[in-house]
Structure 1
């Protein structure tokens, strides 16, 4: 069971963001940028794209702090969900463009290169995610790699793995729970 301290912090940081406190965004960035960048890089396998997703996610958080609902989960899970959603959308857009579906790919030029510290933290987070995913049981790992990191739907993953969509959904949820548990034991800075 989680302690109430993170919930209080989540609410406090949300209030500060809503008031327009740039220092709150800085704190949030320092805390979660490695997670965001690492997850985006894991999904997209592209450093520049991961940097763009990181900027996009924190811009969204800044502009829409009121859309965070502490009753639905932690700030960490909200930011992780935003990151995953944006990375998968980008991946699907790129696949559609490569397949000739006429989809427009929105590319943004990097505003400034990440610092060495940011790159090291992002690489460490990505390595931790890879280690945890690699340690999952094979059935969970395969499903998680196809759906969460590969951008496939439950139905597509189920077909590829020769299982039912319900089984694919169950495996993905269990895999994500195990991943979240393993990552939540990481020491915080």
Structure 2
């Protein structure tokens, strides 16, 4: 029986069961295996970068955050627990959390600057206002997402921050496609409610 590796999963061609290839690599990383770490990086760095870039928009900040993400993975791979989820989801969750932390940190910095009156006068007002507005809106979305049940939050995060299709999400989380569609529909409905947005 042949085995295909698709996006971090070993999928037997007969479709009997999937093996969490990234999870296995993370367990080796926890033991200090540099080759396994390189494999995790090769498999997921592009996907993680895309997710981070969607949150931050700024490319150079996204590159910095990506480095922080993989440093954290190297230092804390032992915290990955296979029976609590897939290795790939664990890595992408770290990437998303780090990106959100950077947004919050940037927002705090803007708030401090405004309070202290140290706004750079050479920067056009419209540009500053637009950046602050985008960051505030991003924070509203993050806060609203945090209020969702885990299954809905995971489905929406993978779709909108990870760029996955519904069928890819179903494969990743091990749920039927119909269940994923329901989670996304219900999650979007609740997200609108949390943000006070009309349908």
TM range (shorter): 0.5 to 0.7
Q: CA-to-partner distance for each residue in 1:31-83, whole Å, 9 max, x for gaps?
A: 00011111111100111111111111111111111101111211111111111
**1:151 maps to 2:134:** no
What aligned pairs does 1:33-182 form with structure 2 within 5 A after superposition? 33-100=45-112, 150-152=138-140, 157=144, 169=148, 173=153, 175-176=156-157, 182=165
In structure 1, the gaps of 5 or more residues are 103-144, 159-164
CA RMSD of aligned residues (A): 3.6
**1:6 maps to 2:39:** no
Check the 8 A contact 2:103/2:135 in 1, yes or no.
Answer: no
Deviation at 1:184, TM superposition (A): 6.6
Larger radius of gyration: 2
With normalisation by structure 1, the TM-score equals 0.57
Kindly tell me: are residues 94 and 85 of structure 1, through their superposed partners in 2, closer, same or farther at Cα, counting changes over 3 Å? same
In structure 2, the gaps of 5 or more residues are 1-14, 115-133, 170-199
Superposed structure 1 runs of 4+ greater than 6 Å apart: none
- Structure with the larger strand share: 2
Kindly tell me: are residues 91 and 33 of structure 1, through their superposed partners in 2, closer, same or farther at Cα, counting changes over 3 Å? same
Question: Matched residues in 2 for 1:23 and 1:16: separation?
Answer: 9
Question: Matched residues in 1 for 2:72 and 2:62: separation?
Answer: 15
Deviation at 1:151, TM superposition (A): 2.9
**1:27 maps to 2:39:** yes
Question: Matched residues in 1 for 2:84 and 2:32: separation?
Answer: 23
Higher relative contact order (CA 8 A, sep 6+): 1
Aligned to 2:168: 185
